[in-house]
Chains A and B, each alone.
Chain A
């Protein structure tokens, strides 16, 4: 079993995901819902970065060729996270565009009030 503090960052990631889901399910406003989706996406950032971290290591940016044996943090998860952020930003932009047009057409942003697609 891991020491609690060693497990804590992972638990934060799981908690963020759950919070995002809760926000999406209970939201009464589509813009709020999309922001809860962004919270859900940020849980993956926390998870990725926590996996790549190493105690007492330096950032993977070297002033010259690295000395053999220098512990450095994993650069791959950081690169993955950059990709992840761009994906999130663009998806949120698309969703917000949909929400803007929805508000213009139906005067409401409340999912409870939209009944067109029942059944």
Chain B
């Protein structure tokens, strides 16, 4: 369709769509008056039953842990897919030691102060990420949030100016294995529930005391496995994209 025809057709349709959507939204209870039973029941029982003070994590990693398993595998398969799609094609070589040559992005190389600062941040960042991952059952946090924070630590190495060091630190094979271990770890914990409790993903580890790090059984274990997988997955994604834009060249020098 010609562009103007398409836009006219679309504007007409989307007005109808918007009207239908608003008409449906009118049937909701007014904002601020959540009615339903699901959230209230969980709020009442989660702390007692699971010794976890962060109810959102309890929902994510215990009550609806199977959804989280699915979500983790969506991440896993997207990283695998992106790795597959960003692979080196036939007729391309890796131009080692290349720098970003795009004329529009002519940024100056990082100064020494910037390098020192970013490198100094790596330690606290890893520590912070580990803190978030391991305290998911107590305060807002958990495997996903902490894992993403952990994944930004190697990124700082690249930002400090050096793609080669980035590649050395985050060995591709190690990251792949780590990601698969994280995903497999989650599945294994589920099997543990199946064997010891009769239901897949049942919370069978000792529940501990509310408020301590080592509490709420399976929630902590799943959180750690998820954190490992998310961190490794995002590093793999960064690796793939950076390699594509910075390094891979057509044979013969074209881009």
Size of A's binding interface in residues, CB under 8 A: 58
A61 and B59 contacting across the interface, CB-CB below 8 Å? no
Q: Which residue of A lies closest to B238 (CB)?
A: A93
B67 at the interface (CB under 8 A from A): yes
Stretch at the interface among B26-34, B95-103, B106-114, B199-207: B26-34
Chain B interface size band reads 35 or more
**Is A75 a contact of B42 with CB atoms below 8 Å?**
yes
Please tell me if the beta carbons of A76 and B10 are within 8 angstroms of each other in the complex. no
Task: List A residues 1-38 near B (Cβ within 8 Å).
Answer: 1-3, 5-11, 13-15, 17-18, 21-22, 25-26
Task: Kindly identify which residue among A21, A50, A79, A89 contacts B31, using a CB–CB cutoff of 8 Å.
Answer: A50
Assess whether A6 is in contact with B30, with CB atoms less than 8 Å apart. Answer: yes
What residues of chain A lie closer than 8 Å to B44, measured between beta carbons? 66, 68
8 Å CB contacts to B: which residues of A30-89? Answer: 50-55, 59-66, 68, 72-79, 82-83, 86-87, 89
Residues of B within 8 A of A65 (CB): 47-48, 210
Q: Which residues of B contact A101 (CB under 8 A)?
A: 85-86, 244
Cβ of B33 and Cβ of A22 under 8 Å apart?
no
Q: Does B220 contact A (CB under 8 A)?
A: no
Q: How far is the CA of A90 from the CA of B210 in the complex (A)?
A: 34
Looking at the complex, which one of A55, A87, A104 makes contact with B33 (CB distance below 8 Å)?
A55
Query: 3 smallest A-B Cβ distances: which pairs?
Result: A74-B39, A90-B78, A6-B30
A-B contact pairs, 9 of them (CB 8 A): A14-B21, A17-B21, A51-B28, A75-B59, A82-B142, A82-B144, A93-B82, A94-B81, A94-B82
A→B interface (CB under 8 Å): 1-3, 5-11, 13-15, 17-18, 21-22, 25-26, 50-55, 59-66, 68, 72-79, 82-83, 86-87, 89-91, 93-94, 96-98, 100-101, 104, 112
